Amino acid sequence: MIKTPEEILNIMKASAIGDLCFSHILGFVRPGMTELQVADEIERVLKSLGAEGLSFPTICVSGINTTLPHGEPSDKIIEEGDLLTMDFGAIVNGYCGDMTRTIGIGHLSAEQKKVYHIVLAAQLAAIDACKAGAKCFDVDKAARDIIEEAGYGEYFIHGTGHGVGTEVHENPYLNTRTDEILEEYMPVTIEPGIYIPDKFGVRIEDLAIVTSFGIINTVKSTKELIIL
C-alpha cells in the first residue's frame, strides 16, 4: 500500500497525462456527439500522450446514464442540458492514473448545479481529512456527512475512494467499514458522488498521495463547474 518515490513518480506522470487529456476533451466535446465518440477520443489521446495502456475501460456517460457509477459509454447522443461524467486513467511504467470530472453541456438546471456543488464540497472535505494517521472510514465520513446533511445521503452509493498502484483498485479502501490507518506515501482516490435515479449523477475524483501534512494532489484539472 505504501509506494516508493519511483512508484509515486510513475503515478504522477500518469495523472499528468490525464490532465492533458481532459484539457483536450474540453475543446473536443460538443452536443450531437455520442458517448462512444468521446470515450474513443479520450483513449486515443491518452495513448498519444504516452500511456502504455488504460487503467480501466473509459467511463463516459451523459444525461440519464450519469446515474450509473460504472456506466459504459453508449450510442447515446450528448445533448444540451446533460451532465457528462468522464472517468479515465493512463498507465505509465505499469502504474495507474485515475480521475473523474463531471461537466455540463450547454446549460444546467438549478438542481444539477446544486448537486454538483454538494459533491465538490464533500470531495474537498474528504481531502482535508486525508492525511497520515487518519482512519479510512473517517475520510469517508467527512464526505458522507456533507452529502447526508444536504439530504442526498441515500444517493451516495459507493465508498469515497481506494488505493491505486499497478492495479487501479487496491487497498486501502476509503469506505464506511475500513478502519485501516492511512500512512505516508499511500496513493488513494477521493471520489464521492451523488446518483439520483431517473435524473442524473455527479462524481468528482482526484488521486492523492497521503503525507504527514495532508495530501499531494496528483490531479491538477479544475473542479470548478464547467459548462461548455
Domain boundaries, the chain: 5-217
Distance CA 92, CA 11 (A): 7
The residue with cell 444536504 is 150
- Give the DSSP letter string of 191-228: --EEEETTTEEEE-BEEEEEETTEEEE---S--SPPB-
Q: Whole-structure pTM over 0.95, yes or no? A: yes
Per-residue confidence in pLDDT tens, the chain, 228 aa: 999 999 999 999 999 999 999 999 999 999 999 999 999 999 999 999 999 999 999 999 999 999 999 999 999 999 999 999 999 999 999 999 999 999 999 999 999 999 999 999 999 999 999 999 999 999 999 999 999 999 999 999 999 999 999 999 999 999 999 999 999 999 999 999 999 999 999 999 999 999 999 999 999 999 999 999
State the distance between the two ends of the chain, measured CA to CA, in whole angstroms. Answer: 38
Distance CA 218, CA 16 (A): 7
pLDDT at 144: 98
The residue with cell 459509454 is 73
pLDDT at 162: 98
32: three-class secondary structure by DSSP: coil
Compute φ and ψ for 50, nearest 5 degrees: 115, 0
**93 is written with which cell numbers?**
511504467
Looking at the structure, give the CATH architecture of the domain made up of residues 5-217. Answer: Alpha-Beta Complex (3.90)
**22 is written with which cell numbers?**
481532459
94: three-class secondary structure by DSSP: coil
pLDDT at 114: 98
Distance CA 227, CA 84 (A): 10
Helix 136-149 to helix 110-129 angle (10° resolution) is: 150
Contact status, residue 123 vs residue 158, Cβ threshold 8 Å: no
Distance CA 1, CA 162 (A): 10
**3 is written with which cell numbers?**
509506494
pLDDT at 19: 98
97: three-class secondary structure by DSSP: coil
The residue with cell 467527512 is 142
What is the DSSP-derived secondary structure letter of residue 183?
-
